Amino acid sequence: MFTGLVEATGSLLAVTPTQGATRITIAAPELASRLRTGDSISVSGVCLTALDITPTAFSADLAAETIARTTLSLLQQGSTVNLELPTPAGSPLGGHVVQGHVDGTATLLALDPITPAAPATDWRLRLQLPPELTRYVVPQGSITVEGISLTVASLKGHEVEIAIIPHTYAATSLRTLAPGSLLNIEVDVLSKYAERAEKPAQVELTEAFLLANGY
Confirm if 87 and 93 have CB atoms less than 8 A apart.
Answer: yes
Q: For residue 173, indicate whether it is catalytic.
A: no
Alpha-helical (H) ranges within the chain are 64-69, 131-134, 166-171, 189-198, 207-212
Catalytic residue among 14, 33, 63, 120: 63
Catalytic residue among 2, 3, 96, 149: 2
Q: For residue 158, indicate whether it is catalytic.
A: no
Round to whole Å and give the CA distance between 144 and 97. 9
Q: For residue 40, indicate whether it is catalytic.
A: yes
Confirm if 33 and 55 have CB atoms less than 8 A apart.
Answer: yes
Catalytic residue among 33, 37, 49, 73: 49
Catalytic residue among 22, 101, 158, 163: 101
Q: For residue 151, indicate whether it is catalytic.
A: yes
Catalytic residue among 11, 40, 134, 191: 40
- In a 10 Å sphere around its CB, with 0-12 CB exposed, 13-18 middle and 19+ buried, how is residue 4 labelled? buried
Q: For residue 142, indicate whether it is catalytic.
A: no
Q: For residue 168, indicate whether it is catalytic.
A: no
Q: For residue 58, indicate whether it is catalytic.
A: no
Catalytic residue among 37, 151, 154, 176: 151
- Residues labelled catalytic: 2, 40, 47, 49, 63, 101, 151
